[in-house]
Amino acid sequence: MSERQMQIGEVAERTGLSLRTIRHYEEVGLVIPSARSKGGFRLYTESDVERLMVIRRMKPLDFSLEEMRDLLEITDRLADTGNPPAGEERERLRERLDSYRMVADARCETLRVRLEMAEDFAATLRRRLPPGVRPGA
């Protein structure tokens, strides 16, 4: 049984990415549609959607396109069941994957600190509103 294929509009809806963004990721080689319809429409599988979600989750952490490409190559290689990496290669890939995890963790912490500062600032502004003025009114 073959995997269900979706057109780009459904993929955009499922991932929250614009058609333009998905096409851009294709142009730069981050995701390649699994097939094309007879009419030439891009067709994507669930695996393609998962790949786009990884990219989408990396974006707010300011990973570059090259870093995204590298991480996807690492995860693709580790998931390769037809020719799985062994020995030193597997260990090297896991170490690289772990370094991305550490960077992601550090960037998440930075974002948490920035969000806390932003929330404190917003609270300060709310406290400074004259009595009787409703925020958002």
pLDDT of 133: 67
User: How does 48-60 read in b/e, with b if 16+ C-beta sit within 10 Å?
Assistant: bbebbeebeebee
What does the mean pLDDT of the chain come to? 91
Could you report the per-residue pLDDT of 47-86, keeping only the tens digit for each?
999 999 999 999 999 999 999 999 999 999 999 888 889 9
Three-state SS at 43: strand
pLDDT of 135: 62
pLDDT of 23: 94
Could you report the per-residue pLDDT of 85-109, keeping only the tens digit for each?
999 999 999 999 999 999 999 999 9
Three-state SS at 133: coil
How far apart are the C-alpha atoms of 108 and 72, rounded to whole Å?
20
How far apart are the C-alpha atoms of 35 and 45, rounded to whole Å?
9
Three-state SS at 35: strand
The more confident residue out of 87 and 1 is: 87
* 31 has a pLDDT exceeding 70: yes
pLDDT of 137: 58
Residues in the chain: 137
Could you report the per-residue pLDDT of 4-15, keeping only the tens digit for each?
889 999 999 999
